[in-house]
Structure 1
Amino acid sequence: MVSPPELPPEPRREPILTLPGALTAYIGLLAIVHVVWSALPPDLEYWTIETFGFIPKRYDPSLLTATFPGGGGAKVWTFVTYSLLHANLSHIGFNVLWLLPFGSAVARRFGAFRFFLFMAVTAVAGAAAHLVTHEHSIAPMIGASASVSGAMAAAIRFAFVRGSFLSFRGNDADAAAQVPALSLMRALQNPRVLAFLAIWFGINIIFGMGSVAVGAESGSVAWQAHIGGFMAGLVLFSLFDPVPRPPRDAASASSGGADRVP
């Protein structure tokens, strides 16, 4: 009696709602930093903000380096470290809420190393935008919103493509994260992407007129940093994307043309 040949094992399908390890580690890092910072006495708490928060006035050439804690080194590391600090639970919770759908898609596509590097680069872009628009401000900026905005921008480069996260087809997260992305030109011709951009910029401008609690004080929302991180994520996405673009898309981009978006 001949037994039937064994069928190859069915590939594992990762549910859409499962968080990738890189995003879990990133959220865990934010939580640990917040818990440790919140446990500090008030004098060390504010010293931490001044040392690791982003303060535009720190870059005023007329001031001595020793004016702010951290010296010359803080002029470098605060471009990233500010994004790890949050004012309160609602601040960190709001950022994590947006990270769950968009950060999950990007982390699954980029992998851990690219994802963490991408979040750092978009944090730098957000700090740079804040520095340009708040040149003499002494108020420290903290929060991961610029990086979160960058992740949102990166996600829309592929999330609307058929078979991906926002196309409402299938539930395999790994497959959804590997669909070829739209070129920047094609993305800016996609009606759904354009609608997302209009809503995102509108919300940021509206909320930029409000305020957010920073410790026991009130500070304005750094919406310019959000835009800086978002634009960096949108434009620099291709430098981090490990998934090759289809040949016709590359040819269209090089010739200046654009195919219709499916």
Structure 2
Amino acid sequence: MEQQPDDRDGAAAAGGALTCYRHPGRETGVRCVRCERPVCAECMIDASVGFQCPACVREGFGTGHHPAASRPRTLAGGSVAADPRLITKILLALNLAVFVVVWIVDHRLHGRLVEDLMLFGRAYTGDPSAGIEGVAEGQWYRLLTSTFLHQEVWHIAFNMLGLWWLGGPLEAALGRVRYLALYLLSGLAGSALTYWISDPAQGSLGASGAIFGLLGATVVLMRRMNYDMRPVLALLVVNLIFTFNPWGSIAWQAHLGGLAAGAVMAVAMVHAPRAHRDLVQFGTCVLVLVAVVVIVLGRTAALT
């Protein structure tokens, strides 16, 4: 049996902010509506009014069967999972596996795989003389597969650190389905904006658009939970400075596209009215996907 602290106010962080009673290092502005203990995004469970903590949910629901409407839900209305980081782990493992496979094959080909990577990356216009087609020639899958490809160790290292740090809390707050939709659509939005604006002969790789989508969603989530916004805003500013630095070749379009899409979807997911939550949340995701399709079709028509 898990023992809970007697102090219903939880621990006070520096500056008087409350911290989650189960995770003392996490500040929060949300309390359980039953016991009034402070809870973080991972611990809060959606109730008919407000949010409850895991202990109160166990006491209230017991071990019997209950209708779907009574099942514990995340902040965004998703199902509470035993492992709140499962999708994040799968995405991280997939990115790392692809990187290792590409590195091994590239090494055996003595470095000649870089050009071949564009078969799955965002090479917008192909090289007909070499038998290579790009997105403009109908290879639209590149807009998604490119988000799982990385060329340099530092590139995948930074992206996977961002995925781990940002993805876990978001997955716990949104639920697996909503979180996966946020990640994939943010990556696609970054690809679409890059396709629209950048040089059509330029290839581009990386999960940065999806990671920036997670960053935008984190800003929205922290604001929703009344967290101290200064750390995440500082992180956002640092990343934007890095994005627009004059010394590196950064696909800033992918960063901004992912950031905007992630923020828009997160607003719908954490602020949707309870009565129409699924409609608002998934309707917004569909609208983002439609915007991506319109951009891709329009750019393709202009190029061909």
**TM-score, structure 2 length as denominator?**
0.55
Match of 1:109 in 2: 173
Structure 1 unpaired stretches of 5+:
1-6, 168-189, 212-219, 248-262
* Residue 244 of structure 1: how far off its partner (Å): 4.8
- On the 8 A contact 1:55/1:140 being kept in 2, the answer is yes
Q: Is the 8 A contact 1:204 1:223 kept in 2?
A: yes
The separation in 2 between residues aligned to 1:20 and 1:228, in whole angstroms, is 25
Q: CA 1:74/1:47 → structure 2, altered by over 3 Å: closer, same or farther?
A: farther
Aligned partner (choices 144, 154, 160) of residue 90 of structure 1: 154
Aligned to 2:14: none
Q: In the alignment, residue 104 of structure 1 is paired with which amino acid?
A: G
Aligned to 2:211: 148
- Quick one: which amino acid aligns to residue 253 of structure 2? Q
Separation in 1, partners of 2:174, 2:225: 19
Unmatched segments (≥5 aa) in structure 2: 6-20, 27-41, 43-82, 276-304
Q: After superposition, where does 1:23-172 map in structure 2 within 5 Å?
A: 23-40=88-105, 41-42=108-109, 45-46=113-114, 48-58=116-126, 67-69=131-133, 75-136=139-200, 138-162=201-225, 166-167=227-228
Give me the whole-angstrom Cα distance separating, in 2, the residues matched to 1:161 and 1:100: 21
Q: Secondary structure at the match of 1:36?
A: helix
The SS at the match of 2:202 is: coil
Aligned partner of 1:33: which letter? V
- What is the CA-CA distance between 1:114 and the residue it aligns to? 2.3
Aligned-residue offset at 1:191: 8.2
Number of residue pairs matched by the alignment:
201
The aligned counterpart of 1:201 is 240
Structure 2 residue 284 is matched with structure 1 residue 235: no
Give the Cα separation in 2 of the matches to 1:28 and 1:238: 28
Give secondary structure in 1 for the equivalent of 2:141.
Answer: helix
Task: Give the CA RMSD over aligned residues.
Answer: 3.8
Cα distance, 1:244–1:147 mapped onto 2, change above 3 Å: same
Q: Aligned ranges for residues 206-225 of structure 1 at < 5 Å?
A: 206=245, 209-211=246-248, 220-225=249-254
Alignment correspondent of 1:226: 255
Letter in 2 for 1:28: A
TM-score (norm 1): 0.62
Q: Quote the offset at 1:57 in angstroms.
A: 2.1
- My pick for the range that moved more, 80-89 or 15-24, is 15-24
The percent identity for this pair of structures is 23
